[in-house]
Structure 1
Amino acid sequence: GGMLRLLLLSVILSTSVAIPLGGSSIEPDEGCLARFHAFRKEHSKRYASPKEEAHRLATFCSNLKEIDAINSRAGSTWKAGVNAHSDMTSGEFMSAFTMPKVPQECSATGPPISSLLDISAPLPTEKDWRNVTCGETSCVSGVKNQGKCGSCWTFSTVGAMESVHAINTGMMELFSEQQLVDCAGDFKNNGCNGGLPSQAFEYIHYAGGLVEMEDYPYVCGDGHCTTNGSFCMAKGLTPAVKVKTVVNFTEGDEKTMMKVIGLQNPVSVAFDVVSDLRHYARGVYQSTVCNSTDDSVNHAVLAVGYGEADEGGTPYWTIKNSWSEAWGNRGYFKILRGKNMCGIATCASFPILEVVNKRTKRHT
């Protein structure tokens, strides 16, 4: 095996190209080449041309340097690592996986949460809805993949709907993100160009419900979808779940958010993704360069729990992302709790559901 590896490495090295970076050309070092080769194999990467491959190799090597720099920060509460997207530049990643920043109306409207819920029970010191069973499965559905479409807001919304419905009924059912991409435009949402969970819950309320995923599957992951998704095909489909009330948290109110997550259900949140989050591997993420205002949120996700990390008792939220299981910690990350880090409590909301009589499924 060792001989073969040496042979492979010498083949890679002999066929390597000098990569022009900012006018000068640098030879990627052996360590980076070997890791790039392993990365390509692990993630089955195919590139269209030698030029593209050279660009991806240079990007990968540059990202490795960033990862090493993050991991050598003194006192950092999180670690970076290589993932499926480590051959993308920061710009490519941000345009593929986040939403454009537009001023959002996030602040609480409607009745106060205390009038809707009994959140006076004692609060658990930690919570993780992934470890709670609803029927035969977890109360949190599996990590999904939004692909190259700024539809994170639909995954955050649907994730909340799936969990709340499972907690209410004892049965996990999967609902349709594509319906929101295609149909929720009248509620200030823009398909693959962004939206907000609170606005999506409003759409579901007024439209009469959300259909099951299998009735209206997600098709935008390959990047072909327009700003507003495509033609809305929800008419004639039977809704599987309906929203009675949309609950919006007061901006920055992490205490109430903790009560709801601790005692009732996961919560949809939005925040400001900055470049280094794409390298996240484990630990409690925090940043000195992200913002927490409502005009800076560019990504929506699902808060499924909270706790304190062993190292130094750092308080965190446990967050389900929609960048596939090949990113982060099996698709999840932890972010600092208690300081509205990156605006994680700026646009938080969740739905109260109406009870829908379970229709008899016709299996065709």
Structure 2
Amino acid sequence: MEISKFLLLSLSLVFILVVAESFEYQEKELESKEGLQAMYDRWRSHHKVERKSSDRFNVFSYNAHRVHKSNKLNKQYKLKLNRFADFTHDEFKSKYADSKIAHKLALQGARPCPQNNNNDISNIPESIDWREKNAVTPIKDQGQCGSCWAFAAVAAVEGINAIRTGQLVRLSEQQLIDCDSKGFNNGCEGGLMEPAFNFITEHGGLATEESYPYVEKREVCCSSKFGHHSVTLNGGERTDGTEEALLKAVAQQPVSIAIDTNSEDFMFYSEGVFNGQCGLTITHGMTIVGYGTSPDGVKYWIAKNSWGEWWGEKGYVRMQRELQAPQGLCAINTYALIPVKDPNTPNNEL
């Protein structure tokens, strides 16, 4: 009897947690302004959103109809009304998904990272998930700072350090935002991952998050922390832009990538294998931490995002791979960076 009560209580807690982390609504609420207004108020309360105006309500209503219509179609992924639901797509891109990567690559010109052209994938595993191998730190949240480039770079460095040393250490995006500023990296105004790897290599490593915490804005560089409590690198490599090269790289370690986010569906992605329409102008950095195949036979990448656990699959997105387009879905193959760490290169004060 006591066991039954315990099981009932456990199931109830699970149900409460599931409801608490997802915003639910009834289809009939979409049929009237009053219903939508009630939805809007509940959504604001659910996500603790303070802003409120007729314009925000109009945007929310548009997005609510769009998400509902998409979820009624036979897509292999679902959307949800997350914290972005009262943003237009242009507002979303400017605040969260425009690190100006393609723009900065064009200005950079020559590619400073050596290319890795050995694309033999005959001996790689059918699937891999670096989260299961203790090489991925918990999901982080960049906030309204265009620092995805730093988060994408740091997650890859955290991964290779864990693989080389057996220690999973949370590292500092803030140090890159504050201090990596001489080239094309510009704090919350966007940047590139390959110069970040070079910066880490040339400045005594990357500080831990504990010693140099994130503040969601650019501040004065604390250069006294260079070389202290830091993870070191030996440079970085860039793939040749093919899916084979990316697959081989991810089989060995987490890899920084960039994608085009010109997709309203990506903004509201909730679950499943994403294969929505998008372009080829890369603007947003993430980190691929694995790959696999769904029960339906759809092959996918596992990408770690930096928008918090409330977005996507607890902060992650599965994106379809093995498409006909050589650039991959949303140009995911085109800008892939691999941090290099020699097993014999020691870290500093860790």
Q: Does TM, normalized by the shorter one, top 0.5? A: yes
Q: Do 1:284 and 1:335's aligned partners in 2 also have CA atoms closer than 8 Å? A: yes
Structure 1 residue 246 and structure 2 residue 230: aligned? no
CA–CA distance in structure 2, aligned partners of residues 357 and 125 of structure 1 = 32
Counterpart position of 2:103? 102
Q: Do 2:180 and 2:199's aligned partners in 1 also have CA atoms closer than 8 Å? A: yes
Q: Any idea what SS the aligned residue of 1:187 has?
A: coil
| Aligned match for 2:161, one of 156, 161, 165 | 165
Q: TM (normalized to structure 2)? A: 0.81
Counterpart position of 2:37? 33
Counterpart position of 1:282? 271
CA–CA distance in structure 2, aligned partners of residues 89 and 30 of structure 1 = 22
CA–CA distance in structure 2, aligned partners of residues 215 and 324 of structure 1 = 21
Decide whether aligned partners of structure 1 residues 213 and 68 sit closer, same or farther in structure 2, where only a CA change above 3 A counts: same
> Structure 2 counterpart of 1:200, which letter?
A
Counterpart position of 2:73? 73
Counterpart position of 1:141? 137
Alignment of 1:48-197 (within 5 A): 52-74=52-74, 76-99=75-98, 100=100, 101-104=102-105, 109-110=113-114, 112=116, 114=118, 122-132=123-133, 138-197=134-193
Q: Any idea what SS the aligned residue of 1:186 has?
A: coil
Counterpart position of 2:294? 309
Cα distance, 1:83 vs structure 2: 1.1
> Structure 2 counterpart of 1:207, which letter?
H
Counterpart position of 2:9? none
Cα distance, 1:232 vs structure 2: 1.4
CA–CA distance in structure 1, aligned partners of residues 62 and 110 of structure 2 = 36
Cα distance, 1:73 vs structure 2: 3.4
Q: Do 1:304 and 1:320's aligned partners in 2 also have CA atoms closer than 8 Å? A: yes
CA–CA distance in structure 2, aligned partners of residues 89 and 120 of structure 1 = 41
| Aligned match for 1:273, one of 242, 261, 266 | 261
Counterpart position of 1:210? 206
CA–CA distance in structure 2, aligned partners of residues 79 and 120 of structure 1 = 31
Decide whether aligned partners of structure 1 residues 32 and 107 sit closer, same or farther in structure 2, where only a CA change above 3 A counts: farther
Cα distance, 1:357 vs structure 2: 4.3
> Structure 1 counterpart of 2:157, which letter?
M
Decide whether aligned partners of structure 1 residues 214 and 60 sit closer, same or farther in structure 2, where only a CA change above 3 A counts: same
Q: Do 1:318 and 1:332's aligned partners in 2 also have CA atoms closer than 8 Å? A: yes
Q: Any idea what SS the aligned residue of 1:269 has?
A: strand
Q: Percent identity?
A: 33
Number of residue-to-residue matches in the alignment: 308
> Structure 2 counterpart of 1:254, which letter?
E
Q: Any idea what SS the aligned residue of 1:244 has?
A: coil
Counterpart position of 2:245? 256
CA–CA distance in structure 1, aligned partners of residues 33 and 39 of structure 2 = 10
Decide whether aligned partners of structure 1 residues 112 and 40 sit closer, same or farther in structure 2, where only a CA change above 3 A counts: closer
Cα distance, 1:69 vs structure 2: 2.5
Structure 1 residue 235 and structure 2 residue 224: aligned? yes
Deviations 1:328-358 (A, max 9, x none): 1111111111231111111101111243245
Cα distance, 1:45 vs structure 2: 1.9
Deviations 1:300-339 (A, max 9, x none): 000011112223x221101100011111111111111123
Structure 1 residue 332 and structure 2 residue 322: aligned? no
Q: Do 1:269 and 1:347's aligned partners in 2 also have CA atoms closer than 8 Å? A: yes
> Structure 2 counterpart of 1:43, which letter?
H
Decide whether aligned partners of structure 1 residues 64 and 299 sit closer, same or farther in structure 2, where only a CA change above 3 A counts: same
Counterpart position of 2:329? 341
> Structure 2 counterpart of 1:73, which letter?
L
Deviates more, 1:300-309 or 1:182-191: 182-191
Q: TM (normalized to structure 1)? A: 0.78
Q: Do 1:108 and 1:249's aligned partners in 2 also have CA atoms closer than 8 Å? A: no
Q: Do 2:179 and 2:221's aligned partners in 1 also have CA atoms closer than 8 Å? A: yes
Q: Do 1:240 and 1:356's aligned partners in 2 also have CA atoms closer than 8 Å? A: no
Q: Do 1:316 and 1:335's aligned partners in 2 also have CA atoms closer than 8 Å? A: yes
Cα distance, 1:147 vs structure 2: 0.5
In structure 1, list runs of 5 or more residues that go unmatched: 1-26, 133-137
CA–CA distance in structure 2, aligned partners of residues 28 and 299 of structure 1 = 36
Q: Do 2:205 and 2:347's aligned partners in 1 also have CA atoms closer than 8 Å? A: no
Cα distance, 1:28 vs structure 2: 5.1
Q: Any idea what SS the aligned residue of 1:215 has?
A: coil
> Structure 2 counterpart of 1:249, which letter?
T
CA–CA distance in structure 2, aligned partners of residues 245 and 329 of structure 1 = 31
Decide whether aligned partners of structure 1 residues 66 and 111 sit closer, same or farther in structure 2, where only a CA change above 3 A counts: closer
Decide whether aligned partners of structure 1 residues 321 and 120 sit closer, same or farther in structure 2, where only a CA change above 3 A counts: closer
Counterpart position of 2:49? 45
